[in-house]
Amino acid sequence: MTTQSRELFPYVPITEFLSVDIPENSLILCDIDDTVLYQEYVRQVCQMGIHTVYIVSRAVDPTGFSDMLARIEASNSVLMFLTARGSSSHNTTKGNLSYVGIDPQRYAIHYTGSLISKGEYIDRFIDITPYNHVIFIDDQIGNLETVHHFVPANKLKQYLCTARHTILPYYKPLV
């Protein structure tokens, strides 16, 4: 696996969660949208020409994510979700995660509401001191860059998730 750099800013590009290294006693901070899941709009035409549009959550890499969860548990590490969504979307977010097979009751979900950067949010609201490593996974290079400014380099490993839209072989419309 090759580490890439942008202006002395190290990260590892990944297309699957199997590529994420989980050292012992790590805090894994993972984005949600376009990293763990994405939203797909499904239009159905019913009888009599009535159109119904559903927003369906899809898992980006369900097998790799399940494997990563097992490795997190085996390494005495902790997973938290860190999203730019607003806290008013908490119930929707929990529903989206449940829909793709992730139990939202098992993991803390932090919301920046796009009011502050993810790096600043970590600095102000998440205690990283108990952990030997901080693993940050996101699909936006700008988010990785802000985290790089707030988390000590000797503790941080970042992954840029580029694996969008691995579609599950099924969907069920949200009702």
Domains of the chain, start order? 10-161 (3.40.50.1000)
Q: What's residue 162's pLDDT?
A: 86
Q: What's residue 174's pLDDT?
A: 36
pLDDT band at 9 (very low <50, low <70, confident <90, very high): confident
Q: What's residue 81's pLDDT?
A: 98
Instruction: Taking the CA atoms of 161, 38, 82 and 84 in sequence, report the sign of the dihedral they define.
Output: positive
3-state secondary structure of 96: helix
Q: What's residue 170's pLDDT?
A: 36
CB of 60 within 8 A of CB of 167? no
What is the rounded distance in angstroms from the CA atom of residue 151 to the CA atom of residue 135? 10
Q: Computed over its alpha carbons, how large is the radius of gyration of the chain? A: 17
**What number of other Cβ atoms are within 10 A of residue 108's Cβ?**
12
Q: What's residue 60's pLDDT?
A: 84
Rounded to 10 degrees, the C-alpha dihedral 109/110/112/117 comes to -120
Q: Which of 127, 14, 13 minimizes the C-alpha distance to 78?
A: 127
* Angle at which helices 118-125 and 141-150 cross, to 10°: 40
pLDDT band at 152 (very low <50, low <70, confident <90, very high): very high
pLDDT at 156 over 60: yes
CA 39 to chain centroid, in Å, comes to: 13
What are the tens digits of pLDDT across the range 12-60?
999 899 999 999 999 999 999 989 988 776 655 565 655 555 667 778 8
pTM over 0.75: yes
Q: What's residue 11's pLDDT?
A: 94
pLDDT band at 5 (very low <50, low <70, confident <90, very high): very low
What is the rounded distance in angstroms from the CA atom of residue 71 to the CA atom of residue 23? 9
